[in-house]
Amino acid sequence: MEHDALPARPRPPRLYNVVADEPAPVSEWLPYLAQAIGAKPPRRIPVWLGRLAAGEAAVLMMTEARGSSNAKAKRELGWQQRYPSWRDGFRRGLASPEAAVPLDGVRPRAA
């Protein structure tokens, strides 16, 4: 018994980690970012106080989260990062605001 070919289904939406090649814990990149913008170094607080102020998920993300991999975005989208490292991205992106990409990913058109 022959079956008619099913129509192609649209590919479901996917999530991609768009991160630097070098994973870094918050304890490493946050002080670097603070220094790059001329802010005071972040304060360290006890975990119990962090849980009280921000919740368990925030504490886990700030203290135990491992770096993400961008391999899927590179493989499936052909994505390449603009800056070789997160350090370079902070430094160069902050030095040149026009190089920064807005959080929504959409740049305003020139007038």
Where along the chain do its domains lie? Answer: 26-96
Give the pLDDT confidence score for residue 111 in this predicted structure: 47
In this prediction the pTM is: 0.64
pLDDT more than 90, % of the chain: 26
Smallest Cα–Cα separation from 18: which of 63, 97, 61, 72? Answer: 72
Confidence of residue 107 (pLDDT cuts 50, 70, 90): low
Lowest mean pLDDT segment, chosen from 2-16, 25-39, 41-55, 60-74: 2-16
- Residue ranges of E strands in the chain: none
Tell me the chain's radius of gyration from C-alpha atoms: 20
Alpha helix (H) residue ranges in 5-46: 26-36
Burial of 19 (0-12, 13-18, 19+ CB in 10 A): middle
CA distance 58 to 101: 25
Question: CA quadruple 52, 53, 55, 61: dihedral positive or negative?
Answer: negative
Q: Please write the tens of the pLDDT for every residue from 50-100.
A: 999 999 999 998 888 877 888 888 898 888 888 878 898 888 888 876 655
